[in-house]
Amino acid sequence: MALWAMDGGTSPGMQDYIATEARFGARNYAPVPVVVERALDCLVWDVQGREYIDMMSAYSAVSHGHLHPRVVAAAQRQLQKVAVTSRAYYGTTLGPFLEKLCQLTGFERALPMNTGAEAVETAIKCARRWGHRIKGVADGRQQILVARGNFHGRTSTIVGFSSEPSYRSGFGPFDGGFGHFDFGDLESLKAAASDSTCAVLIEPIQGEAGVILPPPGFFPALRAWCTEHRVLLIDDEVQAGLGRTGKWFALEHEGIRPDALILGKALGAGLLPVSALCADAAVMDVFTPNSHGSTFGGNALAAAVALEGLKVLEEEGLVERSAELGAYLIARLRQVQAEVRPLIREVRGRGLWVGVDIAPSCTSARELVERLAAGGVLSKETHETVIRFAPPLTISYALVDRAVEVFRQVAMQKHRELGLALPA
Ligand SMILES: *Cc1c(COP(=O)(O)O)cnc(C)c1O
C-alpha cells in the first residue's frame, strides 16, 4: 500500500510521490522535482494541475508528442487482438513494420529489439561476427572503434567503452575489443585502428556529450576510410534518427550512408520501447537462427505501434516540421543569448535538437533547468554546462515562443543576480 494512505487517505501531494520513489526506488536518478500526472502532445500536467511545455520529450522517445491519437488508436486496435507471442511464431504486424522500416531507411533487413542499448548490443554482435566470418579477423580479436564522449547505452559491455567515469566506475571488468578516437578527428581514428578493426560505432551528433555537431567533412572522410579498409560504419541514431535533426536520419546531413543503422527511442512512438538494427543482407545475414534474439523484441503490439508511428511521421510531415521549427527555435535562443552575454556561451543544434551551453563560471545548467521547470518549461541538463531542448516534433510556433519567453525570463533573472552588465 502506498505511504500516503497512512495519513488518513488524503490525496497525495507532490512531496509524497517524490518521497515514495526515493524510499523504494534505487537511487540511480536525480529527477527534476516535477511530478507528472498526465500529458497530451507537447503539454504535461503535474499532480497539482500545473501545466508545462515539454521541451525534452523523453530524450526523443516522445517525438510524436504524448499519446498521439493515431498511435493510441493503433495500440487499442491491436490490444483487441494479441500483444505478445514471442518470436517463436509469425504474426500479422511484424512483417508490415519491418517492411516500412526497410523502405524508410533504405536497408534490406531490420532486426527488432526493445531498448536502444539492446539494439547497440545487437550491432556489436553483428559487427564482430561479420568481422570474423566475412572479413576474416580471428575470432576474439575483432576490434570496434568508438568516439570519446560517446553515449550508446548502459549495459556492461557498452559502459565498458564509455569515456565517462560516472558511467563506468566500479562496473568492471570490461570486455575489451574497443579502441577510442576523438569525435570528428579522422587522424586520431587512424591511429587507433588496426588490421582487426571491423567496425566504427558512432553517433552522428553526440547527444549526451552536449549536442556536439561533427566538423564539416568528417563523416564523408570517415565513410571513405571505412570503405577503403573494409570496416563497417555503424550509425547510432537512437536519439538523432526519425526526424529529430530535420531529416529522417542525421547522416543525411553529411551526404553519406552507413553500413548499419541503429534506431530506438522515437521508434516506439512515445508508447513502448522499440528499437532496431537495420542493415543490408550482406551484413545482417551473419545472424542465423538461435544466434541472437529477444523475448519481447518485435512483439505484435510493439510492431503495430511502431508501424503507425512511422506512418504518422511521414504523413504528418513531422520531419520537415522539425527542420522548420528547429531553425526557428535556434534563432530565437540566439536572440536570448545576445541579451544575456556572457551567461550563454553557445547555442547549437540541428532540427529540434538544441544544446544551450552555459558558462560554468556563471551557474550550472541544472540550476537553470530547475528554474525553467518552476516557470513551466521542462528541459534537461547534460553534464554540468548544457541545457538540452528537444521538444516533440509536433510543437507549434506559439509553444516555441512561450517556452523561449520563459527561458528568456530565467536567463535575464540569472543575469541580473550575477550583476552582469546588460548590453546597451
Ligand atoms: C538513449 C540512447 C541509447 C540507449 O537507449 P536506451 O533505450 O536507453 O537503452 C543508445 N544510443 C544513443 C545515441 C542514445 O541516445
Q: How far is the CA of 350 from the centre of ligand 1 (A)?
A: 18
Active site residue 265: yes
Are the C-beta atoms of residues 325 and 352 closer than 8 Å to each other? yes
AA identity, residue 344: I
- What is the percent of the chain with per-residue pLDDT over 70, rounded to a whole number? 96
pLDDT in tens, 139-176: 999 999 999 999 999 999 999 999 999 999 999 999 78
Residue 399 Cβ < 6 Å to ligand 1: no
d(CA 56, ligand 1 centre) in Å:
15
**Summary mean pLDDT of the chain:** 95
Residue 276 CA to ligand 1 centre (angstroms): 12
Residue 9: per-residue pLDDT = 47
pLDDT in tens, 261-273: 999 999 999 999 9
Q: What tens digit of pLDDT does each residue of 336-357 get?
A: 999 998 999 999 999 999 999 9
- pTM comes to 0.96
**CATH code linked to domain 69-315:** 3.40.640.10
pLDDT at res. 371: 97
> Regarding beta strands 197-202 and 232-236, do their DSSP bridges make them parallel or antiparallel, or are they unpaired?
parallel
Residue located via cell numbers 561476427:
129
Q: Is 264 in the pocket of ligand 1 (CB under 6 A)?
A: yes
Which residue, among 321, 143, 303, 136, has the nearest Cα to 247 in the 3D structure?
A: 321
What pLDDT score does 419 carry?
87
Q: Are the CB atoms for 375 and 406 separated by under 8 Å? A: yes
Over residues 85-128, the pLDDT tens digits come to 999 999 999 999 999 999 999 999 999 999 999 999 999 999 99
Q: Is the CB of 329 under 6 A from ligand 1?
A: no
Query: Confidence band (pLDDT; 50, 70, 90) for 421?
Result: low
The 10s digit of each residue's pLDDT in 116-139 is 999 999 999 999 999 999 999 999
Domain locations along the chain? 12-61+318-417, 69-315
Strand pairing class (143-147; 197-202): parallel
Q: What does each C-alpha distance from 414 to 270, 336, 356, 381 come to in angstroms?
A: 34, 13, 15, 16
Residue carrying the nine cell digits 549495459 = 155
Q: How far is the C-alpha of 352 from the C-alpha of 398, rounded, in Å?
A: 15
Residue 6 pLDDT more than 70? Answer: no
Catalytic residue among 100, 135, 265, 380: 265
- Pocket of ligand 1, candidates 239, 251, 262: which has the most ligand atoms within 8 Å of its Cβ, to mutate? 239
Residue of 16, 41, 54, 236 marked catalytic: 236
Q: Could you tell me if the CB of 238 is within 6 A of ligand 1?
A: yes
Report which protein residue has its CA nearest ligand 1's atom 5.
116
| 327 has a pLDDT exceeding 80 | yes
Q: Is the CB of 259 under 6 A from ligand 1?
A: no
Q: How far is CA 121 from CA 97, 155, 169, 303, 404, in A?
A: 21, 8, 20, 20, 38
Answer whether 268 contacts ligand 1 (Cβ < 6 A): no
**Which of 28, 29, 120 maximizes ligand 1 atoms within 8 Å of its Cβ, making it the mutation to test the pocket?**
120
Q: What mean pLDDT comes out for the span 350-369?
A: 96
In terms of phi and psi (left: phi > 0; alpha: psi -120 to 50; beta: otherwise), the region of 314 is alpha
CATH class of 12-61+318-417: alpha beta
Confidence of residue 10 (pLDDT cuts 50, 70, 90): low
Q: How many residues are recorded in the chain?
A: 424
| Catalytic option among 151, 161, 178, 407 | 151
Mutate to test the pocket of ligand 1, among 201, 238, 242, 244 (most ligand atoms within 8 A of CB): 238
What does the pLDDT read at residue 422? 58
Residues 6+ apart with CB under 8 A from 150: 161, 162, 163, 183, 201, 202, 203, 206, 209
CA–CA distance, 183 with 204 (Å, rounded to integer): 10
Measure the CA–CA gap between 374 and 410, rounded to whole angstroms. Answer: 10
Q: 162 CA distance to ligand 1 centroid (A)?
A: 13
Query: What is the spatial distance between Cα 322 and Cα 247, in angstroms, rounded to a whole number?
Result: 8
Helix (H, G, I), strand (E, B) or coil at 279: strand
Inter-helix orientation angle 365-374/397-417, to 10° = 120
Give the residue whose CA is nearest to atom 10 of ligand 1.
Answer: 152
Task: Decide if 357 is catalytic.
Answer: no
Query: Residue 348: beta bridge partners?
Result: 355
Q: Is 277 in the pocket of ligand 1 (CB under 6 A)?
A: no
Helix ranges, 1-43 (H) = 14-24
CA of 152 to the centre of ligand 1 (A): 5
Q: Is the CB of 241 under 6 A from ligand 1?
A: no
- For the Cβ of 120 lying below 6 angstroms from any atom of ligand 1, the answer is yes
Residue linked to cell 551526404:
255
Q: Is 81 known to be catalytic?
A: no
Enter the C-alpha cell of residue 150.
Answer: 560517446
Which residue shows C-alpha cell 579477423? Answer: 137
pLDDT digits (tens, 9 = 90+) for 372-389: 999 999 999 998 999 999
In this structure, of 8-12, 372-376, 418-422, the range with the lowest mean pLDDT score is: 8-12
Q: Which atom of ligand 1 is nearest to the CA of 115?
A: 7
* 153 C-beta closer than 6 A to ligand 1: yes
Nearest to 386 by CA among 349, 421, 355: 355
Mean pLDDT confidence for 3-18: 67
